[in-house]
Structure 1
């Protein structure tokens, strides 16, 4: 039996009522993200026996390369970098975790955005060996600032800075304090609320799962911080918003067989007898049944996948939205923050495909209000947005969409932008409050 299964079966102290924490590791290339995750997996006994044997054979008597636990692609192993997002699972006596290891290279920033969109927390690694800690203030790496800003813009609730490679610094105490001051100053300027700043050595294991034994740091270990962070819970006591992902019909042939409208509830709740409205058609009906996992249930709430059976047949298909009547106003023009991820710049007037929930429609940028300088955090005029740049834009869509402010809901307020020629994911749109 694998070590992870043995741990989960015999450790009965895991709090099953405490939701799993989904977090990503981010930061610049070679900051030690994959090694940190490998250390968490190794110290929590979440490594399969055959994986451990393989790593020990590769090491040939040398220390195990823990980064290989997440860098699974052949290209990643050859180049020693992370390219794709790798997901891993582990559990302690107090919490369950789902980790996303995001790449640090600028050209793979789109993968980091993908990982951040569904995360409860972000651990941004800072390689202290790359910084001049004698300089005042310490100058942070551009990718550290970019990933922190993206995590903040993507509404990741908890952002933790892990200052890594303390084992490679002659006098770690003052060096950590200097970097902490720089991180706090940057966070204040960017409006980021920092959950914690912790010193670690992912390679040696210092302050990762066990508290650091040092006179200059008396705070918690990284694992203790992660165990204390809250999980995201979308709003339940509010109006219903549910994107339709799939329409299922019972029985064979045609006729009046009931259809079930499946989708994951973005916010609110629904029960039999509730009045609902279908967008964009605007038709209304009453919910006859609520289904979940093949069974009829009394109600379903935000975060759950539910199937709704209506009291009458309506023309509903994938991409439609189910809402509480009169609570959503579809719009064709709105303001949004745009994180641009494509090598071809974003320009005013060009047509793109956008996806909102499960609906695809054409759209174009009608204006670029400003571009954000990640170094100075100042806004400047711009005619286009280059790869990895962030700006504020006005969008016009071909079809009206029930968009919401991203700050209020991550499903109703997010759209992805796709290049119609190359089919590349070109950007992420986060709808603004003023929309």
Structure 2
């Protein structure tokens, strides 16, 4: 029997017994796809191929394919669950309803801390591309500005994301055309060949998964989507499929010019690729596209994290004041302001390189809970194959990340579990 959370009966939204407005359902399928793409086709594709190539060598494309398979399993599980529980919070709600309160809490905690680190990484990436000497100051300003956009309502966020996605896709298309159409195409060596071994491919897949995880934003907006039982299962795989095609084209194009070794050494892989392809005039455009991508990711990330904070606050796992919904804008304004403040502090103090691995670890555990939740939906073996594959894949990729990321992530997730146990013990008394 399904376990129901205290603040959200049936996982379908705010408790009707509690006063105050709910969130407004204004997003259609197109809006949901754009928000997912704004999270996935972001700064990760401008930065992740370098460290992934160092780990996998010429096994980069198999690593991309493995990351995509795990992401597809996760997306399918998330879509099925979101159709059944169309409430803000995503896997926090699914874990709570299907597995019990502890697993919901753990998923929500993993998502909030992991994606908060992602927010800081995206803000710092934008700062590094726009003004390297003042990267931290630009990052903080970006967080403040985009928190204000989200505060104005989810429709404004969707339209801003639509513009950013269009700009980023145009820049990536230019990179692909220039690299594949240049006389340097093929000079970098084989696109696929001997890799650094299974361990390297797994580590690279874990790093590349960072760029695929944005479809969760669609599920966390379940309370603001029109006809969620139909819209979310359509939007998630569509956004994921578009992102995979874009990533594969970009990786093939860049590998054809730089090769795996050159790509592994690159600090700005796409900018280095267009320069090597004989188009140095395109480098500033690529830098601007990278900044736009980072800002698009940051916009969607703050949107998703604040909705999970809202859901956890409704269940009193976080301070109840964070569950407030603005009476006019109909957004969780206190949660958005709190998330923005924490991200601003991290953006002022953190290192972007440390944030990526930590975020990947937390998000992979988040999706492990999603797959475990989807496993419980039906006893049929056929419907359990994808959740089982997703669960195994998430755990394998999480523990294949660099050991520093695993240690830091496990420590923070363990601290969250300890906090939950102490709160339960105090409540029992």
Sort the TM-score into its range (normalised by shorter chain). under 0.3
Q: Which has the higher helix share?
A: 2
TM-score by length of 2: 0.24
TM-score by length of 1: 0.24
The structure, 1 or 2, with the larger RCO (C-alpha pairs under 8 Å, 6+ apart) is: 2
Q: Which has the higher strand share?
A: 1
Larger gyration radius, structure 1 or structure 2: 1
